[in-house]
């Protein structure tokens, strides 16, 4: 809710310096958990995806909640592919704190090395899930190529940094056609 309050009134799109208006709003906040430089790098990648989509759609820009999803995934993938062991330790420390506050999580198992390969978002109808799915694929492919430890995403014996197959299952043919077109 804090981020919604900060970003919902911002203009969409890129500011004059190439960073998004969302970046400027976030960077002005005190006590950020990441450096402004790192935030700037993540923002630049998200804006690159926006430019890529705008070429196909014309005049497109992410809404603040779409931006937040993509920013979160950038941070997540970066942390995952820098050092999986450190990332898991931080996740489990966070989980332990939650377990102390929420008794319903007491039996929730610690995160293991395979768990961060799965990430899910719950989004409302019409929020752009299909669009974000395509960007998420671009994000994963990008981190496979430039991540320090891409094996955290794709653990292949031959160390290749590519998927052999990407399978997207849709509930009907119309949605499959929409994915292919986009």
| pLDDT values of the chain reduced to their tens digit, one per residue, 182 residues | 889 999 999 999 889 999 999 999 999 999 888 999 999 999 999 999 999 888 877 778 999 999 999 999 999 999 999 999 999 999 999 999 999 999 999 999 999 988 888 888 888 888 888 889 889 999 999 999 888 888 888 877 777 777 878 887 888 888 888 777 76
| pLDDT (0 to 100) of residue 166 | 80
Smallest CA-to-CA distance from 110 within 93, 135, 123, 127 is with 93
What is the C-alpha separation between 98 and 84, in angstroms, rounded?
21
| pLDDT (0 to 100) of residue 161 | 77
What is the C-alpha separation between 178 and 171, in angstroms, rounded?
12
The 3-state DSSP class for residue 74 equals helix
Q: How far is CA 165 from the centre of its chain?
A: 21
Q: Assign residue 160 a region: left if phi > 0, alpha if psi is -120 to 50, beta otherwise? A: beta
What is the C-alpha separation between 130 and 175, in angstroms, rounded?
9
């Amino acid at each position: 809710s804090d981020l919604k309050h900060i970003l919902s009134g911002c203009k969409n799109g890129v500011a004059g310096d190439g960073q998004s208006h969302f970046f400027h709003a976030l960077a002005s906040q005190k006590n950020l958990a990441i450096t402004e430089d790192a935030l700037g790098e993540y923002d630049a990648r998200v804006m690159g995806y926006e430019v890529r989509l705008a070429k196909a759609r014309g005049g497109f820009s992410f809404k603040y909640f779409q931006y937040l999803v993509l920013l979160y995934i950038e941070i997540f993938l970066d942390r995952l592919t820098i050092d999986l062991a450190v990332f898991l330790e931080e996740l489990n420390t966070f989980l332990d704190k939650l377990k102390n506050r929420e008794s319903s999580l007491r039996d929730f198992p610690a995160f293991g090395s395979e768990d961060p390969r799965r990430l899910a978002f719950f989004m409302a109808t019409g929020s752009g899930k299909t669009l974000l799915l395509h960007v998420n694929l671009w994000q994963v492919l990008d981190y496979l190529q430039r991540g320090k430890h891409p094996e955290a995403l794709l653990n292949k014996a031959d160390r290749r940094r590519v998927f052999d197959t990407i399978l997207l299952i849709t509930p009907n043919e119309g949605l499959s056609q929409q994915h292919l077109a986009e």
